[in-house]
Chains A and B, each alone.
Chain A
Amino acid sequence: MKILHSIFLIIVLAFSFASVSSMSLAVEPDEVLADPVLEKRARAISANLRCLVCQNQSIDDSNAPLAADLRVLVRERLVAGDSDVEVVEYTVARYGEYVLLKPVFKLHTILLWAGGPLILFIGLFFVFRIAKKQPAAKPVSKLSKQEQAVLDSLKE
């Protein structure tokens, strides 16, 4: 039950499993809110919250009992009138940052967020430096009138 993604774990470097893993079917019909707008918000929020007992799975995808509890909690807060941000803040206050699948942008996650673009800019910087060092390709001098005339005569 623990991992929905287990299949991928196994497939990719096929090995044996100790824990029983099975099909996960996530959101149960009885959890779905009557109001489709609220339900849509609940789904969007759930997709960003981690199932705490799972491998790498949102509560929206997991059928672990804890994930179900959390889904219901999210929906309760929404019904009570919380905004999306308030719901997320509420869950983080209860379960810590670990619950967010998209980490917050803070001092300790700067490198995480900026790592890719940083590499890109460092790369661009070096490319430009090397490009500058290269002797600029000489502009091709235009043909003189005489030369052009010779060329034209040859073309004919």
Chain B
Amino acid sequence: MYIEIGHFALILAFGISIAQAVLGLTFWRSGGHIAGYVKQAAILQFVLVAISFGVLIIAFTTSDFSLSLAAQHSHSLQPMIYKISSVWGNHEGSILLWVLILVLFGAAVAVFGRNIPNDLRTLVLSVQGVLSASFIGFSIFTSNAFTRLDPAPFEGRDLNPILQDVGLAIHPPLLYIGYVGFSVCFSFAIAALISGRIDAAWARWVRPWTVASWTFLTLGIAMGSYWAYYELGWGGWWFWDPVENASFMPWLAGTALMHSAIVMEKRSALKIWTIFLAIMTFSLSLLGAFLVRSGILTSVHAFASDPERGLVLLALLGVFIGGAFILFAMRASSLRAGGLFAPISREGALVLNNLFLASATAAVLIGTLYPLVLDALTGARISVGAPFFDLTFSILMIPLLIILPFGPFLSWKRADLIAITQRLAGAAALTILATIVVFILRGATISLAPIGFLLGFWVSFGAIADLVYRAKIGRSPFIKSIRKLFSLPKSIWATALAHFGMGICVLGIVSVSVGESENITTLKLGQSAELAGYSIEFVKAEELPGPNYKIAHFEFVVSDKKGNERLAVSEKRIYVASSMPTTEAGILTYGGLSQLYIAVGDADKDGNQVVRIWHKPYILLIWYGTIFMALAGFLSLSDRKLRIGAPKKAKTKNILKSKGAT
């Protein structure tokens, strides 16, 4: 019975979202009453979808296999956390999670958007209404999560073992908050185009949503990357897989949007471009959803044979992206150009940033779609894989990383490049010194690696140099500069922290790419292998029981150069319900940043166990870098400036009104 309540709540939410969209789009000008209705509709919608999602969670956690979805993707022996995450470990449930986050953002705009003018907020919410109506409709009519089974099976078919990991509990929700959060920027852009009004205040309202979405998307991608790293069993962390690209493109476009919105807020310039980016970013999120779920990329997947969903998604995609760009083409010219600026200025640097990010996004997009289009048009089949993306993407990123440290130093409107170069001289010197030190320590080799290290250090030190310069460290009494350092605006800290994180991430990537080493070998019990100065002894192999799997358990004693010994545990698991195997690699962290990664393969008759060992120098820098970036996002969000409204001219009318209200 309760399952039907969930289903009913979702259908009700569908009706409300349609009403919200139609009412809002028709009467957005008429002010107070309609604005109130639309606001309440957005909140009510969230409550209803939350109820229906809660129903799924109850069914999964109580192993109610009369729910078809639970019977297919859950198992009564699963630990509680996986019972919950199983809800979105499948197509239907994940679409509902997507919808839940979409309406959550709608409700958030309704609740927190108090300082947004009524007409603009109504328009934004009604565009959100169109989006949620479409996706709730998609869920109800093509991907119903509430189908019942009669009689209910005694046991569920279990979640895909690879997904039985804490990663599934964290990664998709983070990623979806990122993806779907950009829908708010999209709705703001559409609202601006419909109303024809767009100004610095608009940018200020959009920015927190952009920063929030970007922050969660950053965390989501990083989390997914780390999950793949420890779960896949061979230590790869980024594959340029079409599905990864699908999450990376909105991130790149969102990064560009975050920067261009600054220009728009501070200088009223780049209006048309910012609107374009806001539409583009969410369109890329939708494109990702389509590419993955339609099955055109992944013919081995279960739903690939279901063209209906793919077609519906394609239609939705066409309507949203097509509609948005038609509207854009019609209305963009009516937006007045904003403030002027010289080429060498903060604005100029941010334009360059946007150019490089946009072309990098385009390169990834073209690389992802090209094989599909070429196959469809000419029948020629080519592969576009990691080696291609590594090359084309880095060519576009290198110049961006070179100019990055200059950005925060440049003043608005017109800047003095020579003076700035002098301010960065210290950072440049440190960069070169650090790179030389790295190469002396590693042993010099002829390769492209120095460029990578130079870039990583340059971006990191450049970010610090910005703080040092602004706090006048070394140019005024020490205590005074420290006090100044901590009283710098949060936006300055956030910028520096995010850029520092980027540099750290680059250092990690370069270090692993050039410094990684591996040893693939067979070991008998008691035998040892050597790698990068570590000695790995195979000490134990046994069979153990697990909650819903059987474990082949292996232990290794790893001694480092100093003779310290540590235990590494590597496992192979066979899941009972699906009899599928997974590998749990034994990972030891050294010095807080480098890792030794041990994965076991099969054993032959004589007990020779295949063992693969990797040494990944400074690999954790990659994820620490992204954590810095995300922290910067939260720091920026905590800035009071973003929460209070843009300064408005006081009007007697408003004052009277507010007096009357209180």
**Which A residues form the contact surface with B (CB < 8 A)?**
2-29, 32, 47-48, 50, 55-58, 61, 96-103, 108-109, 111-113, 115-117, 119-120, 123-124, 127, 131, 134-135, 137
Contacts and interface: CB of A to CB of B under 8 A. Distances in A.
Contacts of A102: 385, 387-388, 391
A101 B383 contact: yes
> By DSSP majority rule, is chain B's interface helix, strand, loop, or mixed?
helix
B203 to A, nearest CB: 19
A11 B171 contact: yes
Interface in B348-364: 351, 355-356, 358-360, 362-363
A115 B389 CA distance: 12
Nearest 5 CB-CB pairs, A to B?
A116-B363, A101-B385, A23-B583, A120-B359, A115-B366
Contacts of A11: 163, 167-168, 171-172, 224, 227-228
A16 B175 contact: no
B536 to A, nearest CB: 14
Given A5-B239, A12-B244, A14-B163, 13 more contacts: A7-B227, A8-B241, A11-B168, A12-B246, A14-B168, A15-B303, A16-B91, A16-B302, A98-B382, A101-B383, A103-B388, A111-B370, A113-B392
B581 A22 contact: yes
B346 interface: no
Given A25-B601, A135-B340, A56 B302 contact: no
B388 A14 contact: no
Interface string B84-97: 00001111011000
Contacts of A24: 232-234
Given A13-B288, A131-B343, A123 B359 contact: yes
26 contacts: A6-B162, A7-B231, A12-B243, A13-B246, A13-B288, A14-B172, A15-B292, A15-B293, A17-B160, A24-B234, A25-B601, A26-B234, A48-B385, A48-B387, A50-B383, A56-B240, A98-B382, A102-B387, A102-B391, A108-B382, A112-B367, A116-B359, A116-B396, A119-B362, A119-B363, A123-B358
A62 B356 CA distance: 34
A120 B356 contact: yes
Nearest to B239: A5
A25 B387 CA distance: 20
A102 B289 CA distance: 26
Interface string B365-388: 011001000100010111111111
B119 to A, nearest CB: 31
B162 A120 contact: no
B72 interface: yes
A4 to B, nearest CB: 6
Interface residues of B, number: 86
Given A12-B244, A15-B301, A117-B395, A58 B366 contact: no
Contact of B366 (A32, A57, A111, A137): A111
Contact of A27 (B300, B301, B381, B520): B520
B382 A100 contact: yes
A23 B395 contact: no
B359 A119 contact: yes
Contacts of B366: 111-112, 115-116
Nearest to B352: A127
A99 to B, nearest CB: 7
Interface of B: 72-73, 88-91, 93-94, 160, 162-163, 167-168, 171-172, 175, 224, 227-228, 231-234, 236, 239-244, 246-247, 288-289, 292-293, 298, 300-303, 340, 342-343, 351, 355-356, 358-360, 362-363, 366-367, 370, 374, 378, 380-388, 391-393, 395-396, 413-414, 520-522, 572, 578, 580-583, 599, 601, 610, 612
A65 to B, nearest CB: 14
A99 B224 CA distance: 28
A10 B162 contact: yes
A55 to B, nearest CB: 7
Given A112-B366, A113-B392, A131-B343, A99 B383 contact: yes
B239 A8 contact: yes
A6 to B, nearest CB: 7
A28 B414 CA distance: 60
Contact of B580 (A8, A20, A61): A20
Contacts of B356: 120
A8 B73 contact: no
Contacts of B302: 15-18
B386 A19 contact: no
A9 B163 CA distance: 11
A23 B343 contact: no
A134 B241 contact: no
Nearest to B241: A5
Contacts of B601: 25, 28
Contacts of B234: 4, 24-26, 61
Nearest to B392: A116
Contacts of B171: 11
Between A58, A108, A112, the greatest number of chain B beta carbons within 10 A of the residue's beta carbon is seen for A112
Between A10, A48, A109, A135, the greatest number of chain B beta carbons within 10 A of the residue's beta carbon is seen for A10
B340 A137 contact: yes
A58 B359 CA distance: 26
A37 B621 CA distance: 30
Nearest to B97: A14
B520 A29 contact: yes
Contacts of B383: 50, 56, 97-101, 103
B232 A103 contact: no
B362 A12 contact: no
A153 B40 CA distance: 64
Contacts of A14: 88-90, 93-94, 163, 168, 172
A57 B239 CA distance: 8
A56 B393 CA distance: 18
Contact of B300 (A3, A100, A101, A108): A3
Nearest to B370: A112
B183 to A, nearest CB: 16
Between B233, B382, B384, the greatest number of chain A beta carbons within 10 A of the residue's beta carbon is seen for B382
